[in-house]
Chains A and B, each alone.
Chain A
Amino acid sequence: MNLHGIWAIYRFEMARFGRTIWTSLATPVITTTLYFIVFGSAIGSQMRNIGDVPYGAFIVPGLMLLTIFSESVFNASLGIYMPKFTGTIYELLSAPLSAVETVIGYVGAAATKSMVIGLVIFATAHLFVDLDIAHPLLMLGYLLLVAASFSLFGFCLGIWANGFEQLQVIPLLVITPLTFLGGAFYSLSVLPEPWRTVTLFNPVAYLINGFRWTFFGVSDVDVLACVAVTAGFGALCLATVVTIFRTGWRLKS
Chain B
Amino acid sequence: MPEPILTVAGVSKTYRNGPTALKTVDLSVQRGEIVALLGPNGAGKTTLISIICGIVTPSSGSVTVAGHDVVRDYKAARRAIGLVPQELATDQFESVLATVTFSRRLFGRSGHSDYIEQVLRDLSLWEKRHAKIKDLSGGMKRRVLIAKALAHEPEILFLDEPTAGVDVALRRDMWKLVHRLREQGATIILTTHYIEEAEEMADRVGVISRGELLLVEEKEALMAKLGKRQMDLTLVEPLAAVPEALARWSPTLEDEGHTLRYVFDAKAENTGIPELLAAVAEQHIAFKDLETRKSSLEDIFVDLVGQRA
Contacts and interface: CB of A to CB of B under 8 A. Distances in A.
Nearest to B149: A91
Interface string A84-96: 0011101111111
B78 A94 contact: yes
Given A8-B111, A15-B98, A252-B56, A86 B91 contact: yes
A171 interface: no
Q: How large is the interface on B (under 10, 10 to 19, 20 to 34, 35 or more residues)?
A: 35 or more
Given A2-B75, A15-B98, A248-B57, A86 B106 contact: no
Nearest to A85: B89
Interface string B37-61: 0000000000000000111110000
Given A2-B75, A90-B85, A91-B103, A96 B108 contact: yes
Contacts of B101: 8
Interface in B100-122: 101-111
A7 interface: yes
Contacts of A97: 106
A19 interface: yes
B250 interface: no
Nearest to A247: B57
Given A2-B75, A86-B90, A253-B15, A91 B105 contact: no
A148 to B, nearest CB: 22
B288 interface: no
A4 interface: yes
A4 B90 contact: no
A86 B89 contact: yes
Interface residues of A, number: 26
Q: Secondary structure at chain B's binding surface: helix, strand, loop or mixed?
A: loop
Contacts of A93: 54-55
Interface string B17-43: 000000000000000000000000000
A92 B16 contact: no
A103 B79 CA distance: 19
B79 A88 contact: no
Interface in A105-120: none
A128 interface: no
A12 interface: yes
A9 B106 contact: yes
Given A7-B105, A8-B101, A91-B103, 12 more contacts: A4-B107, A4-B108, A4-B111, A5-B107, A8-B103, A11-B102, A15-B98, A88-B90, A90-B89, A93-B54, A94-B54, A252-B57
Contacts of B78: 94-96
B75 to A, nearest CB: 4
